[in-house]
A = this chain, B = another copy of it.
Amino acid sequence: MSNRGISLGELAVRFGCTLKGDPALMVCRVASLETASSDAVSFLANAKYKSYLSQTRAGVVVLDAASADECSVPALISKNPYLTYARVASILHPLPRYPAGIHATAVVDPSAMISADVHIGAHVVVGAGCVIGARAAIYPGCVLGERVTIGADTRLMANVTLCDDSLIGERCIINPNAVIGSEGFGFAPNGALGWVKVPQVGKVRIGNDVEIGASTTIDRGAIEDTVIEDGVKLDNQIQVAHNVHIGAHTAIAACVGISGSTTIGRHCMIAGQVGIAGHLTICDNVVITGKSLVSASIRKPGVYSGSLHVEDANKFRRNAARFAKLDELAKTVRRLSQQQGGAADDEER
């Protein structure tokens, strides 16, 4: 598709846009406003980049009605330009399709059920009792343990590990070196003798349309399962501990750690490096800003924060030293306020 291209007229019809420009013009790829040439689609979704509109050489720009007049080239007018752009781009740049078939070097247990048109790459291992749905693609080096189920049209990038009994839905993308179904971190203390492993007998269940980032790890449940609902998007290097439950359409950025048995609602957005303690409940529609530590349940939708931002290191060091005496400072202020007989102690409200 990216070679032949598509006409602006067809794009307008297909995605319900108003076209300003010649419907016969063809585009075959995407590009940014700055670098686009006339064979490329670009988009404007952030007012910050509006100044590029008058100079772009793109074949067409996807934008909203308010910006159309400033655009010097053809425009596809959409109520949601970024969403429309995503759909146009997915037509021009589909994920690669590998031919159906099982590579000669793959080791597939005879008991595995492989549906039609599945691609299994070089050096893949598929264990006993696995079930692979139609058109799934398993890239080189992936290892599927026993009784792993993969839904139709799901794609495992290279070197992914799916441990025994993992269930993956349809149309998922699992990025390289991710691990699903590893041992949960469960140990019973035994005094001076250390720790005794608690067998982790649950599994991981992942819904449809889930994307999982590179080197993200999702542990199997201790007794019940770890669950990722439909449409969840997990970035790279996220850690999901045993028995976590993530609600549908929640998006989580890279390097987040979620401790065991925590339940996260639907349509949440969790920014990078957030840490979430165990056994908590976070309701639907919660946004958590980067690097926050969530140590109590969140019962109300909203935006939550808990992290300090950088400043000059010397200044920060002085402030941090004051922070270490902040409790005493607050007490001093309260006392001063009382001595002055001023308004009621507003720091205690």
User: Among the listed stretches A4-12, A18-26, A65-73, A174-182, which one makes contact with chain B, having 4 or more residues with CB under 8 Å of it?
Assistant: A174-182
Closest B residue to A82 by CB, please name it: B188
Is A331 a contact partner of B313 (Cβ separation < 8 A)? no
Other-chain contact of A219, B30, B83, B236, B317 (Cβ < 8 Å): B236
- Complex Cα–Cα for A122 and B109 (A): 11
Tell whether A52 is near chain B: CB-to-CB under 8 Å: no
Within 8 Å of chain B (Cβ to Cβ): is A237? yes
Q: How far is the CB of A238 from chain B (nearest CB, A)?
A: 9
Query: Is A340 part of the binding interface, using a Cβ–Cβ cutoff of 8 Å?
Result: yes
Q: Which residues of B contact A343 (CB under 8 A)?
A: 335
Q: A83-B196, A93-B201, A179-B175 are in contact. Are A310 and B339 (CB under 8 A)?
A: no
Give the size range of A's interface with the partner: 35 or more
Fill in one digit per residue for A161-199: 1 if any B CB lies within 8 Å of its CB, else 0.
Answer: 101100000000101110100110111111011111111
A206 to chain B, nearest CB (A): 15
Is A74's beta carbon under 8 Å from chain B? Answer: no
For residue A56, CB closer than 8 A to chain B, the reply is no
Interface presence of A64 (CB below 8 A): no
Q: Does A214 contact B (CB under 8 A)?
A: yes
Residues of B within 8 A of A304 (CB): 310-313, 316
Asked whether A327 and B336 contact (CB < 8 A) given A306-B316, A309-B296, the answer is: no
| A329 contacts partner chain B, Cβ-Cβ < 8 Å | yes
Are the CB atoms of A159 and B157 closer together than 8 Å? no
Instruction: Determine if A302 is an interface residue (Cβ-Cβ < 8 Å).
Output: yes
A132 at the interface (CB under 8 A from B): no
B213–A185 CB distance below 8 A = yes
Q: Is the beta-carbon distance between B305 and A332 smaller than 8 angstroms?
A: no
Decide if B305 touches A201 in the complex (CB within 8 Å): no
Q: Are B177 and A179 in contact (CB under 8 A)?
A: yes
Most-contacted residue by chain B among A291, A296, A298 (CB, 10 A)? A291
CA distance A19 to B223 in the complex (A): 23
Q: Cβ of A231: which chain B residues have Cβ within 8 Å of it?
A: 193-195
In the assembled complex, A29 has its CB within 8 A of some CB on chain B: yes
Q: 10 new A-B pairs (CB below 8 Å) besides A85-B188, A272-B275, A289-B313?
A: A86-B187, A141-B159, A179-B236, A195-B231, A214-B219, A215-B217, A241-B254, A308-B323, A319-B326, A329-B347
